[in-house]
Structure 1
């Protein structure tokens, strides 16, 4: 339940620890051990974006997912456009808001076009008409 709560709500570990009556260290250990198990169980239920989007209009946009300002990363995580630190993700969805796919994260300092090219989206949606 703890790991599912962390995945669904994305709280800080100390808040989850308080809610579940355990230490933050216990939350961290459970997360480390159980997250790969949950990912493996869910992997077979992830739809193929090409099949899921057949006959539908697909919207793709980049977004910055804020993170802490990690000094060890220098300026690689800093987005000048957003004036914040984080990861750049590309998100594909339908006009009705159904999520089709999310790209792997790239450092926030990289432009949306770089994140698009590094994602699997160009290949997945190659047969579609597009506008930018």
Structure 2
């Protein structure tokens, strides 16, 4: 697996992060989620300019909240020094922007 690109100092870069529930059959990584399906929660960072995936976290059980999966993953360290847009489910942190009305 190739390492994620690091932020370039002085460059304007905007990343978007969100979690998604992916239906899976493997009950070692899945749990019954809010949609009553066995799923895994995966947090993904996308570059707003290129629309390419920058990084993703390891799957967590689908009943884990986005904020918990984010904090327990390596993604906050990867996103350090970059402006990140996230929804209110992630909580707030350095460099994070939460759109008005989504908190």
| Structure 1 residues without counterparts, runs of 5 or longer | 1-42
Mapped pair 1:92 → 2:45: yes
* TM-score (structure 2 length as normaliser): 0.66
The structure whose Rg is larger is 1
Count of residue pairs the alignment pairs up: 82
| Structure 2 residues without counterparts, runs of 5 or longer | 83-94, 99-103
How far apart in 2 are the matches of 1:111 and 1:49?
26
Q: Which has the higher strand share?
A: 2
How far apart in 2 are the matches of 1:69 and 1:83?
15
C-alpha RMSD of the superposition: 2.2
Instruction: Check 1:117–1:49 CA distance in 2 against 1; reply closer, same or farther (3 A cut).
Output: farther
What's the CA shift for 1:57? 0.7
Give SS of 2:17's match: strand
Which position in structure 1 is the counterpart of 2:73?
119
1:50-129 aligned within 5 A:
50-51=6-7, 55-68=12-25, 70=27, 77-80=31-34, 82-95=35-48, 96-128=50-82, 129=95
